[in-house]
Structure 1
Amino acid sequence: MTDQCIAPHELDLKKLWDSTCELSACKRTTSHDGRNPKITIEVPILTCSCLWHRFQKEAEEWIAPGGVLIADPLARNRRINAAYAQLWLADNRFQWAGLAAFASKQVGCGLLHAITLDERIEAEKKAYQQLREKAPQDLLDRRRLSNIRPKSEEWHAWDQARQQNPVPLTSNPLLGGAVTTLQEELKYVHEMLALGNTALFLDVYPLHRFYMVRGFEEMQKCLLERSSLKNEVLWPIADKVGFGIAQREIINTFSKIEQGEIYQSVNEMAWHEQLNILQPAMYDVERFALLMRGTQASDVISVVTGLFSGLTEEIQLTLASQCKSPDDKKIPFSQSPTADLADKSQRMEFVTRAAIQFDILLKNPTTREQLKTSIMKIANSEITE
């Protein structure tokens, strides 16, 4: 298990506002005023800002080791999934993190689907171009419905690529523009999903780690100081969301955990996640919001072309390490053809249903063990379609 980030640190046992090193190791400077020397000792103390910096950098180490963001969104997503999973495995009270491991994994499934779809479109385009260049007679024979002569290797390669590609008529020159637009929009959605996944992790993971190590009392004292790091940390949505804002839902979340009201803590963090972070970062962006309307009917493809339907995966959350799972572990977003993922009320209703189902399954010993097994797989990046 990749758990090097959730590890003890020498500052963990230090008290807030205490010196972080022995007095003898502190920096000294001497100045002279006539015959009376003055010695100044600079004593480094453990501040709220120092603690936030530690946990924020820990989060960054998961997805930007050495200060360089993992370029592959799918690889980055797997790291985020693993980090959430390890939070829950380290402390089962972090029920939101356990649910987030599944939700983030589902984002990865969507990224994988979009990548696969784009690759198959490109494969058919390439095969068709080779056919036109090397065996144009095969195309002519096909249009005349002639099966007299055997087809060339290029024709068979194109036919195979065409069968594997779920986007019909990709090779039709008349629809070339529509297919290209489809690919552009898929890429855009792919980038936005990865952005939201990354930003949310950078916001929420340090909150859980701060509470895990320092406790609720210090979190209350220090929460307002977090935003002071805004120019020192990785924060890819700075143009839309301020960094480290002390939202009331954050304190409510960990207050509920302190009181043993675990399910209620999930609800509080879900409100923070969806409304304070993801809504302004993603769903309030007009282009993205437009593409999220009518998602269950045909998703991006219908919006872009009006021609290709049924090509995207159903929007759902599976409480398993697989992208698809049995019905008892599956929570669909909506059955309505006019469902709108950008609508915060519809999205919160979906998240609430998922949280309720997760809570129910955790309270049953058999299904709890099944969930734990899945979360352990996610922690080790053992995710299957």
Structure 2
Amino acid sequence: MAGVDSWPITAAQLSGTFCEALFYGIYLVTFCSCVHTLSTTGGGQEERWRRLSEIRWMMVSVTMALFVICTFDVGIGLWLNFHAFIYSSDPEQAFIHVADWTTICRAVSQVTAMILGDTVLIYRCWIVYGRRWLVITPSLILLFGCVSVAVRLIDVWVEPSTQKTIVLNSNQLLAWVLAFFAITAMQNILTTSILVWRIWRVEKETEKYIYNGSIMVHQPRHLRRVMRVLAESGAFYSATAFTTFLVGVIRSNAVYPASDMALQAAGIAFNLILVRSSARRDQQFTVFDRNERMVFAEQRSAGSASLGPIDSVPGHSRGQDVELYMKAVNNVDNTFQSTGVTVTKIVVTS
């Protein structure tokens, strides 16, 4: 795999179809879990179908769009192999004919699926950060760059001046292919990192109030599981995109199976993130962000750098400090009650 001719395009296309089919099987498993999450609410004996007003239609639309794209790409890949090896007298010529409708459709489905997956990941980051646009600005810039590169890649693919018998790692396409997968990998690493950082910080800040000797709360470690799922799915998706970039750099035909797997990886990562991002958890992050800002504003108005012990704020009466402390306690209490966490005991020391 050191050069273009070291692995024939026929073998690369056939291997790509096989690898994509394997990843599509994984995708179908996660898709079923995703549909279950979107269509039901509650747990155990209280589980029920969602009413129409409770369904998150935007997520349903993206989920079904990715399902159609991933399924279509597998089907069109099988058809392309069938056409090349059964109906064509020269399979290699069938695969390198970029003007054929099958190759153009696969290129469009590739970039569309990955851009959709990137968009939802950025949306999750926006939710976790309390809908702050400034946080996701770098990710949005990379996303817009990815969209621009994708449009240019498809334009080069279909324009009449492009040589019609070329492969992905040819001079006319390679630069745009490399740019697309490089930007995708960078955007995913950046967004996943700041997303996991925020969830980790929310959990740590929560524990600071909960286990400060004043409040005892029974809290399942849901956020840690969310962090692990996000980190694993983000790393999985970024790894496939970066692998495609690397094999493109060395001009190997392995770019075909790598890109096929990257498309399915986008759907898998989306499903995993959606399964672990319920509407209740979205509300938890929103409420926490609101409470965080409110507590910070109260601290500034009281002239205190932190809540601390009751007698640690100089220049303020004991009653005022108790009232301020109880406001913060109630904010945290309300946050967890709204997300199903049980508060077992609250003690304010005098």
The higher relative CO (CA closer than 8 Å, separation ≥ 6) is in: 2
Q: TM-score, normalised by structure 2?
A: 0.29
Q: TM-score, normalised by structure 1?
A: 0.27
